[in-house]
Amino acid sequence: MSVLKKFFKDTIIYGLATVLPRLMNFLLVPLHTGTLETTSYSDNTTFYVYAAFFNVLLTYGMETAFFRFFNKSEEKNTVFSTTFISLTVTTLLFLIVVLAFNQQLSVWLNISQKYFNLLLGLLVLDTLVVAPFAYLRATGRPIKFGAIKIANILIYVLLNYFFLWAIPKFNISVPYYDNSDLVQYIFIANFIASLVTFLLLLPYFFKTKLEFSKRLFKQFLNYGWPIMVAGLAYVINENFDKWILPYLLGKDINGAYSGCYKIAMFMTIFVQAFRLGAEPFFFSHSKEINAKETYALIMKYFVIVGSFMLVFIISYLDIFKIILVKDESYWQAISIVPIVLLANLCLGIYFNLAIWYKLTDKTRYGMYLSIVGAVITVVLNIYLIENMGFIASAWATLAAYGVMMVLSYAIGQKHYMVPYDLKKILGYLVLAIILSIIALNTNANYYINTFLVFLFLGSVMMFEKRELKRLLKR
């Protein structure tokens, strides 16, 4: 099997492990937006903003550090064991400290005590399974990885429908069920799903001999702390808008904004699927003679697929809007979707480019770039929302990811030059943006918009026909 075929095979399997759960999660968007008022949907969004922030803190770059050292070390058991022990000990210490001050912390975070306790339980369970999941990926077990991930989301989705749809519709009697606070059942469903995942991965807690290496731990921290800072900055880039909007414009606006933001999840799914398959591959393939050429080829086809998705989703935006966000009170924020889609495509390109600082162990650059993005996000949101409204948050996201993408390319080519086909990459991006703008101005004329979609595909076939044939013959 050629290197590229192996990459695409692993990416497809890992992608399915991400795409299928995310697609099933799409089933929840119409359920949540149809069941919850925009203010309650805002509470749901805020809960997961905090979850994302603390997840990065609790893993402190150890997952990426694990991949880096697992692939180049002969002490693979020690690498896994050190990672596992580190994350387990720090998570349990976090749990003890937070339990001692949980009332004060819930007040400080402006979140109810009940929600805060569910958040704490969710954080602990999700952090404890990071090392076992990373081990499955690093040892090439994508099917088991995917099966557990899919089981998690199936439980989550089914419980959401049970709590938010089945109980009210069929008047099912459930002790202590509170229909005045439906959003709590989203968190309860998530907690139960995470608990089942923890139990499924429990055998890996006892799979290897426990060995803790102080030397490796120090190397992990040295490699991982810039990634943690970069991760925190990424959380700010992704979520600062959803955190600040309730304070500046109210929960109603934030709920509508967050609901419409979900339509851009198609691009997010694609980017995340790519990352799951690409990161282990990039590390394991780095010593190959043609590694840089392979990275360049992968980048080009990543941009092609992402650009196609941009044109396709925008061409049929009105259909996606009706399917995913049925409550018209949310549609006041639909104008953010094209901007957020393009922003996430830029983010995906940035993730692709970021391999240069990970392979050269210069992860501090990832931290610097993410901090630049975070500063742009914070500054633009604070200064523009008052005058421009919620649309400022979408433009701030695009500005942050666009700048990070350009800077990463410029700096990366000096430290780890990859022969990217810049002419074609920019050509496909520009073509996709032009076609998307046209699609937005056809008054949802699907004949014209369908022609635009096929025009993009035809252009790709015209320029890539020979290479695609060559790749398929390998």
Where exactly are the structural domains of the chain? 3-473
The answer to whether residue 275 scores a pLDDT higher than 80 is no
For residue 419, the Cα-to-chain-centroid distance in whole angstroms is 27
pLDDT in tens, 276-287: 666 666 766 666
pLDDT score, position 1: 45
For the record, the structure tokens of 469 come out as 């044939």
pLDDT score, position 204: 78
pLDDT score, position 467: 75
The answer to whether residue 265 scores a pLDDT higher than 90 is no
Distance from C-alpha of 255 to C-alpha of 223, rounded to nearest angstrom = 38
The answer to whether residue 2 scores a pLDDT higher than 60 is no
Distance from C-alpha of 350 to C-alpha of 145, rounded to nearest angstrom = 25
> Shortest CA distance to 63 belongs to which of 132, 16, 146, 125?
132
- What is the average per-residue pLDDT within 407-425? 91
Q: Are 245 and 79 in contact (CB under 8 A)?
A: no
What distances in angstroms separate CA 252 from CA 99, 249, 260, 453, one per listed residue? Answer: 32, 8, 13, 35
pLDDT score, position 124: 95
pLDDT score, position 61: 87
196 exposed, middle or buried (CB, 10 Å; 0-12, 13-18, 19+)? middle
Query: Dihedral of CA 356/362/364/368: which sign?
Result: negative
> Shortest CA distance to 390 belongs to which of 332, 436, 338, 345?
332
The answer to whether residue 311 scores a pLDDT higher than 80 is yes
- What is the average per-residue pLDDT within 328-340? 93
pLDDT score, position 47: 93
> Shortest CA distance to 10 belongs to which of 266, 294, 276?
276
- What is the average per-residue pLDDT within 63-81? 80
Distance from C-alpha of 403 to C-alpha of 346, rounded to nearest angstrom = 9
Range of weakest confidence among 30-44, 68-82, 406-420:
68-82
Q: What is the chain's length?
A: 474
Which residues touch 293 (CB under 8 Å, ≥6 apart)?
419
For residue 424, the Cα-to-chain-centroid distance in whole angstroms is 26
pLDDT score, position 366: 84
For residue 142, the Cα-to-chain-centroid distance in whole angstroms is 18
> Shortest CA distance to 310 belongs to which of 433, 428, 223, 195?
433
- What is the average per-residue pLDDT within 287-297? 79
pLDDT score, position 74: 72
- What is the average per-residue pLDDT within 253-277? 84
Q: The pTM is what? A: 0.83
Distance from C-alpha of 322 to C-alpha of 225, rounded to nearest angstrom = 43
**In terms of C-beta distances under 8 Å and separation of at least 24 residues, what long-range contacts does 201-209 make, across chains too?**
201/129, 201/132, 201/133, 201/148, 204/131, 204/132, 204/135, 205/84, 205/132, 208/77, 208/80, 208/81, 209/77, 209/81
